[in-house]
Structure 1
């Protein structure tokens, strides 16, 4: 498990005085501010984030040392990470997306289905984008108790019971 968790991203400048538009990936979006200082993925940059006000799909924020639109624009696309120990502990049936990526997915009979490539959420439940074993093809498994009854982070395994029609027939692969 990584010691850094992605909590948001900088989506660009807001205005001309160095304010930034921030997307928060936190369950309580405003909590992103409390995890400062945040860092870039490689850890070379550190950001002390102060939320100014909410805007559509995010927040306006200030970061120390960013004083112009050009400096703010240069940070566009920067993913913001917090240290795992800064974040709240999760209940047993909740997981940080980063912890699921790379886990092997097996069916209830013990057959390897593939590996979790990404975790997507388009407004309803999370979906595990799973790259099928021995193939470049991916499928989306609903991340629900019914479809994914077991997640074992210690062994790096997920046991899935995919709904009918999610997995391709063997002849289709």
Structure 2
């Protein structure tokens, strides 16, 4: 079987680009590939028809810099995401992308409803309680199954510490993205 060389279009990473996943491996023989999504809800992958790739930090690199893929199709398949792109027409081409980091512009994410937030928008927000006491800054979010937990970084007695607060309406009063602040019903000694 003859293989087509992988030709990728160089591109500039959009200023609002967000890393949403990685290419795991080839899937089948026709150029499809598996994607490891950084989210349990990969809507951003499905919504964007142009994915920006950067090579993996480790291992061999089939390309350098940033390239753009025009996505023909992306879908859920057995608890994973699989995709097919222009110019990736056989298994060898798909394998050459293994490990590549996938970015999509934040502007292409689907809109959220009033009480929904993308995790990426919460990272870095300051968290204060109802009394105005600073509790820390959102370092990451963690899914614990039934709920999501805010993982806050803060300093106490000159030492870096972590605090976890369930991201549920019982404890979260308000998320103010323009002010970069989350107000919670939580005390520093909880």
TM-score bracket for the superposition, by shorter chain length: 0.7 to 0.9
Q: Secondary structure at the match of 1:99?
A: helix
| Residue 51, structure 1, aligned to residue 73, structure 2 | yes
Quick check: which has more Rg, 1 or 2? 2
Pick from 125, 129, 134 the counterpart of residue 147 of structure 2: 125
Which residue in 2 is equivalent to 1:83? 105
Alpha-carbon distance in structure 2 between the residues aligned to 1:161 and 1:75: 46
Q: Secondary structure at the match of 1:133?
A: strand
Alpha-carbon distance in structure 2 between the residues aligned to 1:73 and 1:64: 15
Alpha-carbon distance in structure 2 between the residues aligned to 1:125 and 1:83: 27
Stretches of structure 2 that go unaligned for 5 or more consecutive residues are 1-14, 56-64
| Residue 20, structure 1, aligned to residue 20, structure 2 | no
Which residue in 1 is equivalent to 2:167? 143
Bigger Cα displacement from structure 2, 92-101 vs 66-75: 66-75
Pick from 48, 56, 62 the counterpart of residue 84 of structure 2: 62
Map Cα deviations across residues 69-108 of structure 1 (whole Å, 9 max, x no partner).
Answer: 4543443343433223323322222111111001111122
| Residue 37, structure 1, aligned to residue 50, structure 2 | yes
Bigger Cα displacement from structure 2, 126-135 vs 4-13: 4-13
Q: Secondary structure at the match of 1:98?
A: helix
Bigger Cα displacement from structure 2, 127-136 vs 112-121: 127-136
Alpha-carbon distance in structure 1 between the residues aligned to 2:30 and 2:117: 38
Say what the alpha-carbon RMSD is for the aligned residues. Answer: 3.1
Which residue in 2 is equivalent to 1:102? 124
Map Cα deviations across residues 85-143 of structure 1 (whole Å, 9 max, x no partner).
Answer: 32332222211111100111112221111111112224322211111234422232211
Q: Secondary structure at the match of 2:120?
A: helix
In the superposition, the TM-score normalised over structure 1's length comes to: 0.74
| Residue 153, structure 1, aligned to residue 177, structure 2 | yes
Alpha-carbon distance in structure 2 between the residues aligned to 1:76 and 1:157: 38
